[in-house]
Amino acid sequence: MRILINATSARLGGGITVVRNLLPALCAQDGGANEYRVIARADVRAQLDPHHARVRFESPSMVGESIASRGAWEQLALPALALRGADLLFSPAGLATFASPVPQVLMVQNMAPFDADVQSRCTPAVRRRLRVLRELGILSARRAKRVVFISDFARTQLTPLFDLKPERTARLHLGRDLAFSPEAQARAPAMLESLGVRRPYLLSVGQFYPYKNIVELVIGFARARPALPPELMLVLAGAEIEPTVAQAVRDAIAREQLQEHVKLLGQVRYEELPPLYAGAQMFLFPSSCENFPNILVEGLASGVPVLCSRLGPMPEVAGPGADYFDPFDPDDIAAAIVRVHRDPERQAALRKLGVEVAGRYSWDATARGLLDVFAAAAA
């Protein structure tokens, strides 16, 4: 089968993670039967390319940053690309080409457009963007031959909204990159020195969006500090996507007088993340809106105690491998940090359970399931 993959939305974070891991897994699991043409932005191609003989990349000549520019390209230019010998179009970012001449498979990754709480916390401009993405997402799902959800949570929430029959849907958990493991700690000292991070530290990774609840995490850390070692740092890694969120985080750091105790790393290179995780004393994930959070799996796989939000799919993904808190309540975040800090036996249990839970996730398994979906859509 000749499969065209629309990866033009892959820019940062999870979008990059999914495509860069799926491509080699698909090639390993398809028995040599498929060819993959990947449409991706030129500036991220190097991060995605598995350098496989059956994977070919193309970069579109005109893909703007706005929804209007991207939508026009997907509706007008992408069908012509699909006509050039493709048997199936796969869109991992959840937006369909309405006039596609070939069957389409959609993967829904972004839950933010469908979360009313997220929209209520955004700026008016972002809120308008999410509302457009919501309507396009609904229309796209109804146009697609098959829709892939990456968590039971998302499938349960969105199938009624999309008005889909169950047989048109599939649930496929994503996998984990084997680079994230306790063994990565051996590389931590040199890497931490290069980033200007000193141990011990608590770590949180995620782009600066309102629903990542970074402000609440900063306040929770401040309230926990009297019960923690004075040298313990909070390290925040992630691109400062939304300026209002970045400013709110900095204001919280200043208000809580944490300038010497919180380190903002910004966007960290992917290859630097495994030792950064493995060197942490705890990993904290306060997001309240996710589908299948790759970041959470990375933390679990790294063999550090994981504390995370109890909302959305987080309990589904982390199971017994994490302790949970209310991501909107800094007092509850603080209590969770202090509780685990004071309990070495619980720390040891979480390290072991986290690695065990992460071991359930495999990109090869995701690829096998996706190949089955491709076959059903093309039939």
On whether both 206 and 336 belong to a single domain, the answer is: yes
What gap in Å lies between CA 114 and CA 78, rounded to an integer?
25
What gap in Å lies between CA 190 and CA 172, rounded to an integer?
37
At position 331, the amino acid (one-letter code) is D
Which residue range forms the structural domain that includes residue 263?
182-358
On whether both 203 and 322 belong to a single domain, the answer is: yes
Total domains in the chain come to 2
pLDDT tens, position by position, 306-318? 999 999 999 999 9
On whether both 171 and 189 belong to a single domain, the answer is: no
What gap in Å lies between CA 75 and CA 97, rounded to an integer?
5
On whether both 166 and 242 belong to a single domain, the answer is: no
On whether both 370 and 351 belong to a single domain, the answer is: no
More confident residue, 211 or 13: 211
pLDDT tens, position by position, 233-292? 999 999 998 899 999 999 999 999 999 999 999 999 888 999 999 999 999 999 999 999
Beta-strand ranges (E) seen in the chain are 2-6, 35-39, 55-58, 88-91, 104-108, 146-149, 169-171, 201-205, 233-237, 262-266, 282-285, 306-309, 323-325
pLDDT tens, position by position, 113-124? 999 888 888 888
What gap in Å lies between CA 379 and CA 373, rounded to an integer?
10
On whether both 112 and 260 belong to a single domain, the answer is: no
Q: Identify the pLDDT of residue 103.
A: 94
CATH number of the domain within which 166 lies = 3.40.50.2000
**What mean pLDDT is predicted for residues 81-88?**
86
User: 369: buried, middle or exposed (CB in 10 Å: 19+, 13-18, 0-12)?
Assistant: middle
Question: SS3 of 237, please?
Answer: strand
pLDDT tens, position by position, 22-40? 999 999 999 999 999 998 8
On whether both 210 and 93 belong to a single domain, the answer is: no
pLDDT tens, position by position, 358-378? 999 999 999 999 999 999 999
Q: Identify the pLDDT of residue 279.
A: 96
Q: Taking 80 as the threshold, does the pLDDT of residue 79 lie above it?
A: yes
User: pTM for the complete prediction?
Assistant: 0.91
Q: Taking 70 as the threshold, does the pLDDT of residue 18 lie above it?
A: yes
On whether both 281 and 339 belong to a single domain, the answer is: yes
42: pLDDT confidence band, cut at 50, 70 and 90? confident
Tokens coding 216:
């609440």
Q: Identify the pLDDT of residue 64.
A: 56
On whether both 290 and 229 belong to a single domain, the answer is: yes
On whether both 128 and 214 belong to a single domain, the answer is: no
On whether both 171 and 186 belong to a single domain, the answer is: no
Q: Taking 80 as the threshold, does the pLDDT of residue 65 lie above it?
A: no
pLDDT tens, position by position, 132-183? 899 999 999 999 999 999 999 999 999 999 999 999 999 999 999 999 999 9
Residues in the chain: 379
**What mean pLDDT is predicted for residues 226-236?**
97
Q: Identify the pLDDT of residue 126.
A: 86
On whether both 75 and 144 belong to a single domain, the answer is: yes
